Amino acid sequence: MASSQYSGTVTIDAGAPVPLNTIRMPATRIILQATPAAGSGLIYVFVNVPVGKTPSVDTYPYTTLAPAGANSPSDTYSDQVDFGDGSFFDVSRIWVDGSHSGDVVNYSFSAKI
């Protein structure tokens, strides 16, 4: 299968997690990182969220990214399953949230098409 590169941004509304994609999107690689910002907060990445569920830091496992600095981006979350065997993950099952409203998270993924 071929792949196509997609990218976007999510603006954090603290305590209101959002999926990176609202429709099923198989992908082999993904990277997320918050942009530099003064007073930024932690970023929470939820992976493999069951369809029909909304995760929260109280109810679902997550990966925490350190805050962005005023002049530096946050930690990076990345995943890759490009094994040539048909493996993929579903971008619609990856959600983000954060501890500070207004933080911007950039993401990019290689979709299998």
Closest by CA to 40, choosing from 97, 95, 98, is 98
Give me 105's structure tokens. 């998270």
- Over 60: is that where the pLDDT of 23 sits? yes
* Residue 11, H or E segment: strand 3-11
Average pLDDT over residues 68-90: 88
Cβ neighbours for 90, distance < 8 A, ≥ 6 positions apart: 24, 25, 26, 27
Above pLDDT 90, what percent of the chain? Answer: 86
Q: What is the pLDDT of residues 27-72, one digit of tens each?
A: 999 999 999 998 899 999 999 999 999 999 999 999 999 999 999 9
Q: What is the pLDDT of residue 38?
A: 87
Quote the domain boundaries for residue 25.
3-112
What percent of the chain stands above pLDDT 70?
Answer: 96
pLDDT band with cut points at 50, 70 and 90 for residue 109 = very high
Residue tagged 């805050």 (tokens): 67
How many domains does the chain divide into?
A: 1
- Quick check: helix, strand or coil at residue 93? helix
Average pLDDT taken over every residue of the chain: 92
Alpha-carbon gap, residue 76 to 2, rounded angstroms: 25
Is 82 or 9 the better-scoring residue by pLDDT?
Answer: 9
Q: Provide the 3-class DSSP secondary structure of residue 92.
A: helix
Q: What is the CATH number of the domain that holds 88?
A: 2.60.120.530
The answer on pLDDT for 1 being more than 60 is no
Classify residue 10 by burial, with Cβ atoms within 10 Å: 0-12, 13-18, 19+. buried
pLDDT(17) > 90:
yes
